[in-house]
Amino acid sequence: MKRVGFLTSGGDCQALNATMRGVAKALYNELGTEVEIFGFEEGYKGLIYNEYRQMTPRDFSGILTKGGTILGSSRESFKTMRTPDENGLDKVAAMKQNYRRLELDCLVILGGNGTQKTANLLREEGLNIIHLPKTIDNDIWGTDMTFGFQSAVDIATNCIDCIHTTAASHGRVFIVEVMGHKVGWLTLHAGIAGGADIVLIPEIPYDIDKVCDAIARRNRAKKGFTILAVAEGAISKQDAKLSKKEYKKKLENYEYPSVSYELADEIQKRTGADVRVTVPGHMQRGGSPNPYDRVLSTRLGSKAAELIIAGKYGYMVGIVNGETCKVPLGEVAGKLKMVDPNAGIIKEAKRIGISFGD
């Protein structure tokens, strides 16, 4: 009998349910009644406070197209995992105790970078862990693609598509703020797919003068409007030179809701353009997973089941060069997959005239 725990942690995305379904269906198909699955509710919180429910094949039926997570999620910071809660509870000890109380053979953890670091911590503490890479940011090291990314690209791209008609009608400059605090994969792909004229990402600090020059070039060419796809973590060259302490102090006294509004203000002052900001926000996490993510999630889930049946633990399941693979958790936990400013996709985008403000 295999006894397997599931939990989903951190921000939700479109394909969490599809991925859990992939794991569960493969386990049930291969092991029949010789597997029991326990779902911990609201991420690590459920594991800490022993809030779970035993699941059945029926729980995983009809969820391939369902967004969000049937188990719920929460953000439990990796930095505070070793810090006792308000009642003095040792969270790591509690998670280990609850894992062992249920006599689990392994714990399947679906989540992004912070989730992955805690998953690796539990591995180091002696628990059998399988991690599945979830994030709309596609920033997890060791896998070419994370589930949720392509679905979010679809939504962000559709937002840019919709902006095109109104921008053209009024001759305005539009800024579309795309999710991504530390990396720019989502903004980069949505910006190219949506035909944005300027794409600003955290990995390439922008020069506001270069941004305004790109807008001016379009005006001289009688283009009539300009669309910027801006990552929420985009940063100017000036701010990039600040120390972490100095930048943090600036943000404490920040007068704008986000960098997009600061950009809008600067562009308006320098060019006199009529500038509008659109922030799709959590829409990018919502809705049904697209076909690509449904396939990817099913494949990653099935591979995870293969490892569980074989008793191979301590891995993230990733996809590299189109094939699923197991990646040692200890080798990838805590590493961010950034956009290389010299990558081919950046050069190709610049070649067709997209400005990165550098």
Nearest to 148 by CA among 43, 300, 15, 324: 15
Three-class SS string for the chain? Answer: CEEEEEEECCCCCCCHHHHHHHHHHHHHHHHCCCEEEEEECCCHHHHHCCCEEEECHHHHCCCCCCCCCCCCCCCCCHHHCCCCCCCCCCHHHHHHHHHHHCCCCEEEEEECHHHHHHHHHHHHCCCCEEEEEECCCCCECCCCCCECHHHHHHHHHHHHHHHHHHHHHHCCEEEEEECCCCCCHHHHHHHHHCCCCEEECCCCCECHHHHHHHHHHHHHCCCCCEEEEEECCCCEHHHHCCCHHHHHHHHHCCCCCCHHHHHHHHHHHHHCCCEEEECCHHHHHCCCCCHHHHHHHHHHHHHHHHHHHHCCCCEEEEEECCEEEEEEHHHHCCCECCCCCCCHHHHHHHHCCCECCC
230 and 179 Cβ atoms separated by less than 8 Å: no
Tokens found for residue 77: 């910071």
Give catalytic status of residue 137 as yes or no.
yes
Nearest to 197 by CA among 11, 353, 340, 41: 353
Catalytic residue, chosen from 12, 59, 137, 154, is 137
Would you name the residues annotated as active-site residues?
Answer: 137
